[in-house]
Copies of this chain bind each other. A is one copy, B any other.
Amino acid sequence: MTSPESTARVAFRTAGRDDLERMVELIADDSVASRRTGSFGPAHVAGFEAIDSSPNDELVVAELDGEVVGVMQLTYIPGIARNGATRLHIEAVRVDARLRGLGIGRLMMEHAHARGRERGCALAQLTSDKQRPDAHRFYRDLGYVQSHEGFKRSL
């Protein structure tokens, strides 16, 4: 395979309902996330519909030669901290496991940053499970500063 590091082969678009099962499959196909994603069902449909109707959330899919190979969720968070900055908050970044290391993830993040700038964001932020050292290197290489501890709690 030629490297997909070519915008001619990789394209981005807002996800539609028809992409949902594939997106859930991508999110679940991961040693860290598989045990918590669950098999496809009504909860994913409800989650998709809530994102689709939110003015501040969007799901983006990456296509390689027309096939969906990546997904990420972008949330635009307005704020009064950091001099009123709007934040681009990124969740659920996933590239098809068979296609990792080819530069698709980098193109996705560059697309996310461009979308954030379009929405007036001054800052991008994300967290990554401490079990993912390769992802941490990836984000540092993209200019991210590993400045925070990330906390989660069930409600």
Q: A91 an interface residue at 8 Å Cβ cutoff?
A: yes
With both beta carbons as reference points, the residue of chain B lying nearest to A128 in the complex is identified as B149
Q: How many residues of A contact B (CB 8 A)?
A: 70
* Interface SS, A side: mixed
Q: A23 an interface residue at 8 Å Cβ cutoff?
A: yes
With both beta carbons as reference points, the residue of chain B lying nearest to A124 in the complex is identified as B153
Q: A62 an interface residue at 8 Å Cβ cutoff?
A: no
A56 touches B59 (CB 8 A): no
Q: Which residues of A contact B (CB under 8 A)?
A: 20, 23-24, 27, 33, 36-38, 41-48, 50-51, 54-57, 59, 73, 75, 77-89, 91-92, 113, 116-117, 121-130, 136, 139-140, 142-155
A81 touches B37 (CB 8 A): yes
What B residues does A88 contact at CB under 8 A?
A: 155
Contact of A126 among B48, B116, B124, B151 (CB under 8 A): B151
Also in contact, A155 and B77, with CB within 8 A (given A130-B148, A150-B149): no
